[in-house]
Amino acid sequence: MYSEKVIDHFTNPRNVGEIEKADGVGQVGNAKCGDIMRITLEIEDNIIKDIKFKTFGCGAAVATSSMVTEMVKGKSLEEALEISNAAVAEALGGLPETKMHCSNLAADAVHVAIKNYQEKRMKV
Ligand code: FES
């Protein structure tokens, strides 16, 4: 069913919470089930210094959220934008076919948060 990595990230999720005064905020909903993922970023010199997530969703959504935070922390914005939802699922050792749609939130929420940051900077 689930890989050991999925179970590990679900039972011991990394980077849970919300960054106060975040530089970028991204929230996306899964059209299939209505679950929601929210990502907050702290960005310094084009690098993701800190990232936190809150996910109101299933175990696979929590695991993919947790995994994507580990994948992008310390990365440049360009590198983070290159990480796809499929890459997150792959890093978890895959997801059952019926749960693949759950990985649609992870990288998307990060990308939305980065775009939110870039838009805010353009307005300053
Ligand atoms: Fe909604 Fe998994 S069932 S994200």
- Quick check: CB of 42 below 6 Å from ligand 1? no
Domain count, the chain: 1
CA distance 99 to 62: 12
Q: For tokens 């175990």, name the residue.
A: 59
pLDDT digits (tens, 9 = 90+) for 12-24: 999 999 999 999 9
pLDDT digits (tens, 9 = 90+) for 28-60: 998 889 999 999 999 999 999 999 999 999 999
The pLDDT value recorded for residue 50 is: 98
Q: Catalytic residue at 58?
A: no
pTM: 0.94
CA distance 57 to 46: 30
The tokens for 90 are: 């792959």
Domain that holds residue 40: 4-123
- Quick check: CB of 24 below 6 Å from ligand 1? no
CATH of the domain at 115: 3.90.1010.10
- Quick check: CB of 58 below 6 Å from ligand 1? yes
Q: Catalytic residue at 102?
A: yes
